[in-house]
Amino acid sequence: MSERAVIGVAGPADRLLVQGLVDLQPLFADLRGNVLLVGGLMARVWLHLRPVEDLPPRATADIDLGIDRSGLGLTARSERIRPMLEAQDYRPLPGDEGFRFKKDLGGAPLLVDVFVAKGASREEPPVLEKGVTTLAAPGLAYGLARGPSFVTVEFVDGNDGTELELPLPTLDAAFVMKGALTASGVRARADRRQRDRVDTVMLAAACLGDPAALAALRAAKGKEPRAALRWMREALADPGTPAARTLERHMADEHALTGGGEWAVGVAERLSRALAA
């Protein structure tokens, strides 16, 4: 039996998100076991399932898909993902953003990004399939190896509800993906780096309350889990680090709470102790 989350629809961006997820149900069904919802939505759903300190998860309307290129047998000559998206009226953006697909939904543009795991393609930028180059998502290889966690999410909009099954990474993999991304330093925009830091620490705190996630992290091997855990230890060594100050500002601005930096350092320390136990 899958886990269940209830998420309130907060406005137009959330309504657009729900429309997009409904749109993508045929793709999720056809690619079952070989596609994951990653990015901010992954963190948002898990933090509804594993609430941290009664803090509401960060809202996001992005739809990012991690594709198991190897599991689907995709090559530079195959065509599968793009035709499926185009059948739902999504169109790839031109040039270097060909991994982004856009659809107009009631006058509002919805973007769907597709990613592969590092090493899934020998090319740079990596090839998803014929005519589609993409980006390699840090931590996705670990998430795909762990397999999907199918979660039932009901999006509640007033008196209306939309229930969907979403293919998420496991909780430990969600932490590894956000942590490995944060550790990689590939994000150029400061606001995105800050969001990644917040998501990483919040997911780490969620893992502390989940014995299965901790067990998986204890057993995890490979560069990506090590990078995420090393970032937690080093970037949150004390409340004066840039990462800790990011959490301090986030807690103050979003939740009117003080001590966010010390709390984040405490999460890192507790995680290290839990994994060493």
- With vertex at residue 30, the alpha carbon angle to CA 7 and CA 224, rounded to the nearest 5 degrees, is 70
**Residue pair 27/88 in contact by the 8 Å Cβ criterion:** yes
What the block records as the tokens of 277 is 């136990």
Per-domain residue ranges for the chain? 1-169, 171-277
Please state the pTM of the whole predicted model: 0.95
What pLDDT shows up at residue 1?
63
DSSP 52: B
pLDDT per residue as tens digits for the range 75-107 = 999 999 999 999 999 999 988 888 999 999 888
Identify the segments of the chain with pLDDT beneath 50.
none
Q: Give phi and psi for 214, each to the nearest 5.
A: -65, -40
What the block records as the tokens of 55 is 């803090």
pLDDT per residue as tens digits for the range 10-59 = 899 999 999 999 999 999 999 999 999 999 999 999 999 999 988 888 87
Sorted by sequence, the CB contacts under 8 Å of residue 34 that are 6+ apart come out as 67, 68, 71, 72
**Residue pair 250/194 in contact by the 8 Å Cβ criterion:** yes
Sign of CA dihedral 163, 46, 19, 138: negative
